[in-house]
Structures are given as C-alpha cells and as structure tokens.
Amino acid sequence: MIISLSGYMGAGKTSIGRQLAEYLQWDFVDLDDFITRFYNKTPADIIRQHDERALRIAENRALNQLLVERDNIVLALGGGTLTEVFNQRLIDTYTFHIFIDTPPELIKRHLQHNAGDRPLWINDEHERSRHYQQRLPAYRKARLIFSNTYDSPESATNALIKLLSETPQIKIPKNNKPRNDIR
C-alpha cells in the first residue's frame, strides 16, 4: 500500500509524512526530493528554467516510476502535483490519498520561518489566497481529509495515526508503539 499526502506548500506533508512512515515502519518518499535526485534539478530550478507545466510532467514521470516499483511507502506530494488530471488519476488509482488540510494562517507561519526555495510562494496576500483556493478542489478529492490545526508535527502525526487507526482501509500495526517524541 502507498499512502500519499497532499496539501498546499507548508502544510506539513513532509514532516508529518516522515514521522508517519517511521511509525508504520515504511519508507518515506518526498516527491520533490525524488525529482531532485532523478533530474539533478530541484523543482524550483525546473520551474525557473522551464515552467510550472514542466514540473508537473516531471512529477508524472516520477509518480509512474514510484507507484510501479514501490510498496509500503508514505509519499509526500508536491503542493501542485494534483493540479494536473493525469497526476490526480495516478494518485486516486494507486494510493490511499490523504489531504493535509492546514489553515492558511498556519501555512503562512510555517513558511515565514522556513520558506526555502519556493518560486510559487506569492508575497501578495490576495494572490496567495487565490492560488490556494484554486488548488483546494483537487486536494478535497482525497479519500481522507485530515484537519491539521496542530502546533507541532508530532501532535499532528499522533492525531493522524489515531484517525488512520479508525479507518478500515488502513491497517495500523498493533504492535507499533509511538516513539517518545510522538505522543
């Protein structure tokens, strides 16, 4: 099984995904990191050197490889991966898709401290809100929507694990004990 995590940039996909994978004793793959290794260019470089569509095509190629070759992984998608229908179909067909629904105010706080190299992060508040709203319909097609209003990735991960343990499609190993820093 593959669990995919979607959400806007800064929603917590990577930090929550890493901890969830550790808890499940699965591998963790960040799609942006996978693309960087595969193309020897970061997603930001691909956007700057080509355009956003080129990144979506690169994501599609990476997804096709990952979804065929791997199992038992938690996959953190890029914030815009689901803007293309061909990527939506792959995710919906081959993964248990979870939308990490993080409020815009919390995303803004996350990115103020760690914006990194994000060419699609828009400084204009109105434009950023419009950009976020455009992506919401694709995110909301997920099989599970996780409301992330938590102050720490550890708290969010614990809440997600609890929610997944109540989800019949996901088998949470009963013998797994939370790590000390995941309460």
Which ranges of the chain have pLDDT less than 70? 110, 113-124, 174-183
- Asked whether 100 and 5 are in contact (CB, 8 A), the reply is yes
| Pick from 103, 108, 106, 101: nearest CA to 163 | 101
Query: Dihedrals φ, ψ of 36, to 5°?
Result: -60, -45
| Pick from 45, 48, 46, 44: nearest CA to 61 | 46
Percent over 90 (pLDDT), the chain: 67
* Neighbour order of strands in the sheet with 27-30: 27-30, 73-76, 2-6, 96-101, 144-147
Whole-number pLDDT of residue 64: 93
Residue found under tokens 């970061």: 42
Whole-number pLDDT of residue 131: 80
Domains in the chain, ordered, with CATH? 2-165 (3.40.50.300)
Provide the whole-model pTM.
Answer: 0.87
For residue 170, the SS3 value is coil
Tens digits of residue pLDDT in 125-169? 777 788 889 999 999 999 999 999 998 999 999 999 999 999 888
